[in-house]
Amino acid sequence: MFSPTYFFRLPIPSGKVDVRYDSNAQVVYIQNLYLNHNYRLFWGAMSESLYAFYRPSFLKIKFKGKGYYIYKNKRNTITPQFGYAHRLYLYSYFSSVKFLSKTSIFIFGFLKSDISKVGFGIKAMRPINIFTGRGVRFSRQIIYKKVGKVSSYR
């Protein structure tokens, strides 16, 4: 398969393999006629890797606090400003970042491992404070605040 922007080189075992291309639907049909265990394992791994292109993953991150901002340039370099004197950079090569509002971002891509790596990287830059509840959290994550010393004696 070849395109001006990308190409795939697929190793196909020789033998009884039926390969057809439908030009109307632009779909490649690959059918294996062997029932050997090694070929089943190969075709299972091949179909799983091709299916990953049609199954994008996403992650929603919210942050809470005064003066917390996140910036992004066109190369998906994320620069949060969480009250530090210096800038912290997080490079996300294989995932895209979109801002939903001032305090929430949406990370999406094809591999869940790349998305979770970026998400946990942002979360590690400003962990949640257990007394105030400020910091970076994932969407739908429940945060329990710890009772302070003053309020526990009243």
The model's pLDDT over 115-139, given as tens digits with 9 standing for 90+, comes to 889 889 888 888 888 888 888 888 8
Residues 66, 106 within the same domain: yes
| 115 located within any domain | yes
Reported confidence tier of residue 15, pLDDT bands at 50, 70, 90:
low
Contacts of 72 (CB under 8 A, 6+ apart): 78, 79, 97, 99
Check whether 60 has a pLDDT greater than 80.
yes
pLDDT average, residue stretch 76-93: 80
pLDDT average, residue stretch 37-63: 80
Residues 78, 35 within the same domain: no
Taking the mean position of all CA atoms in its chain, how far away is CA 84? 26
Residues 61, 118 within the same domain: yes
| 4 located within any domain | yes
What is the sign, positive or negative, of the torsion defined by CA atoms of 62, 68, 74, 78? negative
pLDDT average, residue stretch 83-106: 83
Number of domains present in the structure of the chain: 2
- The pTM (predicted TM-score) of the whole model is 0.59
Cα→Cα distances 63→4, 13, 88, 123, 125, Å: 41, 50, 16, 9, 11
| 90 located within any domain | yes
Question: Residue 107 in contact with residue 117, Cβ under 8 Å?
Answer: no
Check whether 2 has a pLDDT greater than 60.
no
Q: Which among 28, 5, 30 has a CA at the least distance from the CA of 16?
A: 30
pLDDT higher for 84 or 95? 95
Residue 53 CB coordination number (10 Å): 8
What does residue 4 show for φ and ψ, rounded to 5 degrees? -65, -20
Identify the domain containing residue 51 by its residue range: 1-55
Residues 64, 122 within the same domain: yes
Question: Residue 132 in contact with residue 144, Cβ under 8 Å?
Answer: no
Residues 43, 113 within the same domain: no
Confidence (pLDDT) at 1: 47
Check whether 105 has a pLDDT greater than 80.
yes
Residues 40, 107 within the same domain: no
